[in-house]
Chains A and B, each alone.
Chain A
Amino acid sequence: MIHFDNVGKRYAGGREALAGVSFHLEEGEMAFLTGHSGAGKSTLLKLVAMLERASYGQVFFNGQNITRIGKRRIPYLRREIGIIFQNYKLLNDRTVFDNVALPLVIAGVPYQEIRRRVRAALDKVGLLDKEKRFPVMLSGGEQQRVGVARAVVNKPPLLLADEPTGNLDPALSGEMMRLFEQFNQVGVTVLIASHDLDLISRMNHRVFTLEQGRMIADGRPVRDR
């Protein structure tokens, strides 16, 4: 699903966020991306979603080299990826329903279909009864679930999450992870950037560890606690 071949990213100003990173995430896999702040987790996710372009190396998505993909094709690429953000990035002047519907509206899905699919997605995250609320009326955990519903509503084959539990308490974080596992079980590839080592170690998934832009570990968590 995602393949990095010796990828590096240098920002204007000379800071090297990623250096010589190579890895391959299979279709249907679920993996964590960990490391300290500034280790390059976000940059790696941005390269997948084409929010940034690699300075060198090749990035493949679904068998397609997207390193030099045309600007006009980026939106269509992003529709194949559900992205979940730490700060949710919901639109506060729109209802929960409208927030979740946005990807479908963008893709030009007919209204009846939108209704059905938004409700299915909200049902999945347990927020069907809150569809008419506005994001500010919801708790942090609920807002994050709205974000998840929006990310999965158009059934993308890949989910990316950047610190999805960063603003949640441990109980809600565990709940959020179980939600991701459910999507993974139906075949969605999931890649989660998180520095919550405690949480990661309790789950048996592949873990990529970044340190100062280099990938220093790739494997299952060691339960040493």
Chain B
Amino acid sequence: MKGQERTAAAFRDRHAGGKRPRRVERRRSARRGWWSAAYVAGHMQALLHSLGRMAQKPLSSAMTVAVIGIALALPTGLHVILQNLQGVSAGWENTAQMSLFLKQDVSPEGVESLRSRLEDMTEIAAVMYISPRQALEEFRDSSGFGAALDSLRENPLPAVLVVRPRLEFNDPQLLRTLRERLQALPQVDMAQLDMEWIERLFAIMEIGRRGVLILGVLLSLAVLLIVGNTIRLAIQNRREEIEVQKLIGATDAFIRRPFLYYGFWYGLFGAMTAWLLVNVSLALLSGPVSRLSLLYDSARTLSGLGLNASLALMMAGVLLGLLGAWAAVGRNLREIEPE
């Protein structure tokens, strides 16, 4: 009866302090903070336990993960496409330039000093001088009006400074201000900037960006609902177990934990699925895209999901999973009370 003696000894230990109220017990439990090994072990256990539960029903778990993956892949994929379009348009923006038509009475020295002054401006990357003669020749070559031009007694074309702004200033608003400043220069007859197409492009891109945002929000909501519903079903399936746990002194936090980790895993696996879907789709698109860009004489290739975007996707997945689980758990666990 060694066991009995041990039990008796343990019992005496328990009661060594006499008839103290049992609050002591509670305080000891409360002191078990996040730093304690037992607390961490409890979380690890719940984490692995919920993973094991998912593995027990591989088909339904995989289907839920797939749905979450597709829901996350849509906005992510559109985001990648938008990024690529932005990359392309950044190439175009690079060609944004301004033509300064100088007044006829500006001397060659004046042109030279204006040019060096412009080159010193922070907004400007490069300045190219096209003399009236060059302009005329260019025009003659491209227009086919050679004979007509020869009949002119003097060159009607003004000197032109072609200004290429720096990339940082490639913004419609900034470009417009720059144009106004240059227009105000005394040597300049007219400063011309063809911005309409840039503005249109920006507007279209903005619509795209907004669209992706709306889609992202809606599909995130869908993920929340999917996870929430899955967790709700899991709770219902384990009703009996939850009742027993409550009967033998499990705190709400303890019961909640494995379900929250369900959400965590669903979110993480869903995000990983989305990542895979997006990358596979990009791989499928990359061939046609590089052929297309070759036709445009460009070596542009499709850029994929970067490290930051991938991490953001994982974080979003995990966060949505946890949030959905939290919402489901709060409502459904309260309903289950042992009788």
Name A's B-contacting residues (CB within 8 A): 27, 49, 51, 61-64, 72-73, 75-80, 83, 89-91, 102-103, 105-111, 120, 123-124, 150, 155, 157, 182-183, 185-188
Contacts and interface: CB of A to CB of B under 8 A. Distances in A.
A106 B21 contact: no
Contacts of A187: 8, 11-12, 15
B29 A157 contact: no
Contact of A102 (B21, B240, B248): B248
A51 B4 contact: no
Contact of B248 (A83, A109, A157, A182): A83
B288 interface: no
A182 B8 CA distance: 11
Contacts of A72: 251-252
A188 B10 CA distance: 11
A107 B245 CA distance: 11
A75 B22 CA distance: 13
A73 B26 contact: yes
B22 A64 contact: yes
Contact of A188 (B11, B251, B252): B11
Interface in B226-282: 240-241, 243-252, 254
B19 interface: yes
Contacts of A157: 11, 14-15
Interface stretch (B37-45, B111-119, B166-174): B37-45
Interface residues of B, number: 40
Contacts of B249: 75-79, 103, 106-107
Contacts of B7: 120, 124, 155, 183, 186
Contacts of B25: 76, 79-80
A80 B254 CA distance: 17
Contacts of B10: 155
Nearest to A81: B249
Given A63-B21, A78-B248, A79-B248, A91 B241 contact: yes
Contacts of B22: 61-62, 64, 76-77, 80
B146 interface: no
Given A62-B22, A186-B7, 16 more contacts: A61-B22, A63-B21, A72-B252, A75-B249, A76-B251, A79-B248, A79-B249, A80-B25, A83-B247, A102-B244, A102-B245, A106-B248, A111-B41, A183-B7, A186-B8, A187-B15
A109 B21 CA distance: 22
A109 B38 contact: yes
B133 interface: no
Nearest to A188: B11
A158 to B, nearest CB: 10
Contacts of A111: 41
A188 B7 CA distance: 10
A61 B23 CA distance: 11
B269 to A, nearest CB: 23
A109 B22 CA distance: 18
Contacts of B338: 51
22 contacts: A73-B26, A75-B252, A76-B25, A78-B246, A79-B25, A83-B247, A89-B243, A90-B244, A91-B240, A91-B244, A103-B249, A108-B39, A110-B37, A111-B41, A120-B3, A120-B7, A123-B3, A124-B3, A182-B4, A186-B4, A186-B7, A186-B8
A149 to B, nearest CB: 12
Given A102-B245, A102-B248, A103-B249, A155 B11 contact: yes
Interface in B16-57: 19, 21-23, 25-26, 29, 32, 37-39, 41-42, 45
Contact of A75 (B32, B241, B250): B250
B23 A64 contact: yes
Nearest to B30: A76
Contacts of A61: 22
Task: Determine which residue in B14, B32, B247, B337 has the highest number of CB atoms from chain A within 10 A of its CB, and name it.
Answer: B247
Contacts of A73: 26
A91 B240 CA distance: 8
Interface string B312-339: 0000000000000000000000000111
